[in-house]
Amino acid sequence: MSDIQKTDVIIIGAGPCGLFAVFELGLLDLRCHLVDILDKPGGQCAELYPEKPIYDIPALPICTGQELTDRLMEQIAPFDPVFHYGQMAEALEKLDDGSWLLTTSDGAKLNAPVVVIAAGGGSFVPKRPPLSDLDDFEASGAVQYAVRKRDTLAGKRLVIAGGGDSALDWTVNLVDIAESVTLVHRRDDFRAAPDTVAKMRALVAEGRVTLHIGQLKGLEGTGGKLDNVLVQAAGVEAPDALPADVLIPFYGLTMKLGPIAEFGLNLEENLIPVDTERFETSEPSIFAVGDINHYPGKLKLILSGFHEAALMAHAAYGIIHPDKKIRFQYTTSSSSLQQKLGVA
């Protein structure tokens, strides 16, 4: 059993809510290990929307998903959390002493009296267009499902497919750096915010964006290098070949709760019901914060998840140290908290 890593709290998910949970738990001297399927922190913010602006973080009028992640990582650095990246929380077992043994997809074994599920909506998998030979183009980066580094698309011929917010947001945001941008949608009607639709149509009128109504039909190229995207318009026999270096289909995401669904927790439509005093699940000492949880009046906002993490941390402390009472302190005035943060 020497390969088991012991800690105070295991956090499943290293998105914003999971990271802020480290901060709130760290203020209470609780050590954390985090498990995330991604190869870096930040969850959806860093993986899917690293350069899209976020406007509703208190005291930050604007920041990108990556900037928010970087600031949270800086904030929790004094508490030395241990990250297990690129791993899925695969199995959870309750031991005789009441603690939990979590096994990851890489075989790592973590043991703690408290588990916090901060897995967002679970694992989000992009919906792939039904095209042949897609694997080779995905492997080369010629087909991408998210814009992770905007600058890598500079000077490229881009075909963006979709009619929602992501497709139109990136059509508008990439037109200044790409060689060309073509937007493909099955009909001339869009689900995106009206203001963004108006901006897109203005760019089309100016000749800076090409709007093509039709369905993706195929890809042309060899060795993973994309030459053309084939688009079939309604009522036309042959598809049009649109010159392209990169295809970015924004067809939405499929949510997969994954092994968490097998943990024996009560679920409601792939969400985990919790109480609003402790944010504890149906299983004592397992908590859920952020988009993964559900309760009456729930708002899927990052700031809501931060609030949930703070209350969860105090409840977790009571489980880990049942014989101790928390003396509530403010970081502005507590010298002991400031010492933990390295600012005293």
Equal fold, 4-124+254-341 vs 128-251? yes
Which residues have CB under 8 Å from 196's CB, separation 6+?
Answer: 165, 168, 169, 172
Q: Are 221 and 194 in contact (CB under 8 A)?
A: no
Q: Which helix (H) or strand (E) holds 142?
A: none
Domain spans in the chain, listed from the N-terminal domain onward: 4-124+254-341, 128-251
pLDDT of residue 1: 42
**Predicted TM-score of the model (pTM):** 0.69
- Pick the closest to residue 89 from 31, 13, 21 (CA basis): 13
- What pLDDT was estimated at residue 155? 97
pLDDT at 264: 84
Per-residue pLDDT of the chain (344 residues; tens, 9 = 90+): 448 999 999 999 999 999 999 999 999 999 999 999 888 999 888 877 788 889 999 999 999 999 999 999 999 999 999 999 988 899 999 999 999 999 998 899 999 999 999 988 766 667 899 998 899 999 999 999 888 789 999 999 999 999 998 899 999 999 999 999 999 999 999 999 899 999 999 999 999 999 999 999 999 999 999 999 999 998 888 999 999 999 999 997 766 677 788 888 888 888 999 999 999 999 999 999 999 999 999 999 999 999 999 999 999 999 999 999 998 999 999 999 999 999 98
pLDDT for residue 52? 83
- Homologous superfamily (CATH) of 4-124+254-341 is FAD/NAD(P)-binding domain (3.50.50.60)
Q: Give pLDDT, residue 294.
A: 95
Contacts of 38 (CB under 8 A, 6+ apart): 14, 46, 47, 85, 86
Token pair in block for residue 73: 């990582």
User: How confident is the model at residue 46, as a pLDDT?
Assistant: 83
C-alpha distances out from residue 222 to 82, 89, 280, Å: 42, 38, 53
Fold of 128-251: FAD/NAD(P)-binding domain (3.50.50)
Between CA 316 and CA 210 the distance in angstroms is 54
Taking every pair of Cα atoms in the chain, the longest distance, rounded to a whole number of angstroms, is 76
In Å, how far are 141, 220, 311 from 241, measured between CA atoms? 20, 8, 56
CB-hemisphere CA count at 13 Å for 35? 29
Closest residue by Cα to residue 191 from 145, 126, 252:
252
